[in-house]
């Protein structure tokens, strides 16, 4: 009798007391609402220098311990790093975030992101509910192909 068990990114199959282990990586689908690579690439190209990236990750490990892993790979925006990005932290408790500066028009092309896309989608929905009309969820550093398109902005 065959049985299989999943261990992280590996599959282990048991057959008559023998185990076969595969190093084939199991690809996880992006989180709901995350833009496709094609959609994101076109969005960034069309936006040109008007693009603003909204990073909703939190540097406070006591509030968002999971963000520490993605912050090690991709730092929060600062004056020298990621010049077209803002850090507007998504607050799980209030289910909200600060709005972009009033100097940004409501049709400014915005890409929201967190580490992998969950809070990025909440931020997108929130911004759209506040009248922003040109917003995509770019997932975050965990989605490496998408991150390559806009991560340095």
153 residues of the chain, pLDDT tens digit each: 444 444 444 444 444 555 555 454 444 556 789 999 999 999 999 999 999 999 999 999 899 998 999 999 899 998 888 999 999 999 999 999 999 999 999 999 999 999 999 999 999 999 999 999 999 999 999 999 999 999 999
Phi/psi of residue 43, each to 5°?
A: -60, -45
Contact 134, 108 (CB under 8 A): yes
List, edge to edge, every strand of the sheet that includes 10-15: 2-7, 10-15, 18-22
Structure tokens at 82: 């990621």
3-state secondary structure of 66: coil
């Amino acid at each position: 009798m065959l049985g299989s068990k999943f261990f992280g990114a590996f599959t282990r199959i048991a057959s008559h007391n023998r185990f076969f282990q595969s190093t084939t990586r199991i690809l996880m689908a992006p989180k709901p609402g995350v833009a496709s690579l094609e959609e994101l690439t076109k969005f960034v190209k069309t936006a040109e220098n008007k693009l603003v990236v909204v990073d909703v990750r939190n540097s406070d490990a006591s509030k968002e311990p999971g963000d520490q892993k993605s912050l090690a790979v991709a730092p929060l925006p600062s004056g020298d790093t990621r010049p077209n990005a803002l850090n507007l932290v998504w607050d799980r408790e209030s289910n909200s975030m600060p709005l972009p500066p009033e100097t940004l028009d409501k049709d400014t092309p915005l890409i929201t992101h967190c580490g992998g896309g969950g809070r990025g989608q909440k931020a997108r929905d929130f911004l759209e509910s506040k009248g922003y009309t040109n917003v995509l969820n770019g997932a975050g550093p965990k989605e490496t192909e998408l991150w390559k398109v806009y991560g340095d902005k």
